[in-house]
């Protein structure tokens, strides 16, 4: 497994990160609504991933129900004695408690959220602590100061952001710099051949400020695994069979054209569509590690093939072209004019 620096920080992470969002199925009301896996399978997936060099796990307080995913990761680390062998990432920000202060990124909420996560994860430190989404009701400086205190106290080692608007991320980096606060060194965003929106603004921001990009849903929730086919209903029991709107978003000419390009490249390189889709992200220079999901050990093994795929510049261009998207104004205008003048 190759390692990369997390942005311009000193932390090295494997290029593949195991997402724990699907771990734990409390009941139908749980976070993933029965498209995850049970605790026993989650343990098997984490053990196998670590054995194969995936020593980076991403969870969140809100995954599972009432912190179930964090509790499963904590129990597995304790049982397998693996805490010091993994880079452990979690998130806070969404609702975990009652009332006006049971959600958000205020100092009040952060101080409680971190203690609750540490307890569930059975650890004394979180390696990468991420805000799950910007909080427009809390000044960025309040959030950054509270997080900076956590780093100074040793409870948290590195800070990351997720689901931020680019203007807010830029502002955040400047506040950290001018106020001498620890800054976000990573940005976790939805990024795949199907969803490339962050190429407009976020990728240039990350490149300028030295943040490592951590793509989430890199297989477009399974669409790019190759198990979906045009004009056929999704296989029963899988995520995009249950999440109708998610499937409808990809069930179009661009979606099937992209999948065709991925599938034919997988055949040519004797690998899997999932491996090609993950390798395409790894070919993007600001990406530090790709956070993929797996509901079974078989899916995990399929996805880990990405570590052995090497795409040429020509391969990347073919996939870029097949998944081309409308840049919109002013990005298209800027790109066209920049080329000519
Ligand atoms: N920051 C955020 O807001 C945010 C949001 C979402 C996710 N994330 C992070 O990103 C991680 C990954 O997200 P994701 O689960 O959406 O990623 P994904 O890799 O795009 O999708 C994973 C799903 O695709 C299917 N799949 C995966 N590999 C497969 C294979 N080889 N063959 C067939 N099907 C396969 C499985 O679902 P089925 O078997 O049901 O088809 C699996 O649960 C999460 O665990 C979490 O850590 C973060």
- What digits encode the pLDDT tens for the residues 126-185? 999 999 999 999 999 999 999 999 999 999 999 999 999 999 999 999 999 999 999 999
User: What was the pLDDT predicted at 28?
Assistant: 62
Which residue's CA lies nearest to atom 47 of ligand 1?
19
What the block records as the tokens of 198 is: 């962050």
Both tokens of 14, joined, read 């494997």
**pLDDT for residue 35:** 84
Position 24 scores a pLDDT of: 87
Cα separation, 148 vs 156, whole angstroms: 9
Q: Name the residue with the closest Cα to ligand 1, atom 4.
A: 216
Give the model's pLDDT for residue 33.
67
**Does ligand 1 have an atom closer than 6 angstroms to the CB of 58?**
yes
Q: How far is CA 200 from the centre of its chain?
A: 18
Low-confidence ranges of the chain (pLDDT < 50): none
Is residue 155 in contact with ligand 1, taking CB distance under 6 Å? no
Q: For the whole prediction, is pTM greater than 0.75?
A: yes
Q: For this structure, is 63 an active site residue?
A: yes
- The pLDDT, as a whole number, for residue 34 is 74
The predicted pLDDT at position 29 comes to 62
225 touches ligand 1 (CB under 6 Å)? yes
Residues 6+ apart with CB under 8 A from 72: 20, 23, 24, 39, 42, 43, 64
Q: Which atom of ligand 1 is nearest to the CA of 189?
A: 1
Q: What is the SS3 assignment for 91?
A: strand
SS3 at position 37: strand
- Measured from the CA of 20, which atom of ligand 1 is nearest? 45
Ligand 1 atom 16 nearest Cα: 217
Element (H, E) at 89: strand 87-92
Give yes or no for residue 20 CB within 6 A of ligand 1.
Answer: yes
Residue 292 Cα to ligand 1 middle (Å): 5
DSSP letter for 76, please. H
According to the model, what pLDDT value does residue 65 have?
83
**C-alpha 294 to ligand 1 mean position (Å):** 6
Structural domains in the chain plus CATH codes: 3-340 (3.20.20.100)
Choice from 219, 220, 224, 242 to test ligand 1 binding pocket (greatest atom count within 8 A of CB): 219
Q: How far is CA 65 from CA 30, 105, 295, in A?
A: 5, 20, 17
299 CB near ligand 1 (under 6 Å) = yes
From atom 48 of ligand 1, which residue's Cα is the shortest distance away? 216
Taking the C-alpha atoms of residue 212 and residue 289, their distance in angstroms, rounded to an integer, is 8
């Amino acid at each position: 497994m190759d390692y990369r620096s997390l942005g311009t920080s000193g932390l090295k992470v494997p290029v593949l990160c195991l997402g724990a969002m699907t771990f734990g199925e409390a009941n139908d009301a749980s976070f993933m609504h029965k498209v995850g896996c049970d605790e026993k399978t989650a343990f098997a997936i984490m053990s196998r991933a670590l054995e194969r060099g995936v020593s980076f796990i991403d969870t969140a307080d809100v995954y599972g129900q009432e912190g179930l995913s964090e509790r499963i990761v904590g129990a597995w680390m304790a049982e397998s004695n693996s805490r010091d062998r993994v880079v452990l990432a979690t998130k806070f920000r969404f609702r975990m408690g009652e009332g006006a202060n049971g959600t958000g990124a205020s100092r009040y909420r952060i101080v409680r959220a971190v203690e609750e996560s540490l307890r569930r994860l059975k650890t004394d430190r979180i390696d990468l602590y991420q805000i799950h989404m910007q909080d427009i009701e809390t000044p960025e400086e309040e959030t950054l100061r509270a997080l900076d205190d956590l780093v100074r106290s040793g409870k948290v080692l590195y800070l990351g952001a997720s689901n931020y608007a680019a203007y807010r991320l830029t502002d955040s980096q400047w506040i950290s710099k001018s106020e001498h606060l620890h800054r976000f060194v990573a940005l976790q965003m939805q990024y795949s051949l199907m969803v490339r929106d962050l190429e407009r603004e976020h990728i240039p921001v990350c490149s300028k400020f030295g943040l490592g990009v951590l793509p989430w849903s890199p297989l477009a929730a399974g669409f790019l695994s190759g198990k979906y086919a045009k004009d056929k209903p999704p296989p029963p029991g899988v995520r995009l069979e249950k999440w109708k709107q998610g499937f409808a978003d990809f069930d179009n000419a661009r979606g099937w054209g992209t999948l065709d390009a991925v599938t034919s490249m997988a055949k040519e390189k004797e690998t899997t569509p999932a491996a090609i889709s993950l390798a395409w992200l790894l070919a993007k220079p600001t990406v530090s590690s790709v956070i993929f999901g797996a509901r079974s050990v078989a899916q995990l093994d399929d996805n880990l093939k990405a570590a052995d795929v090497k795409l040429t510049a020509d391969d990347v261009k073919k996939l870029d072209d097949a998944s081309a998207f409308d840049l919109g104004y002013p990005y298209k205008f800027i790109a066209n004019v920049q080329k000519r003048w």
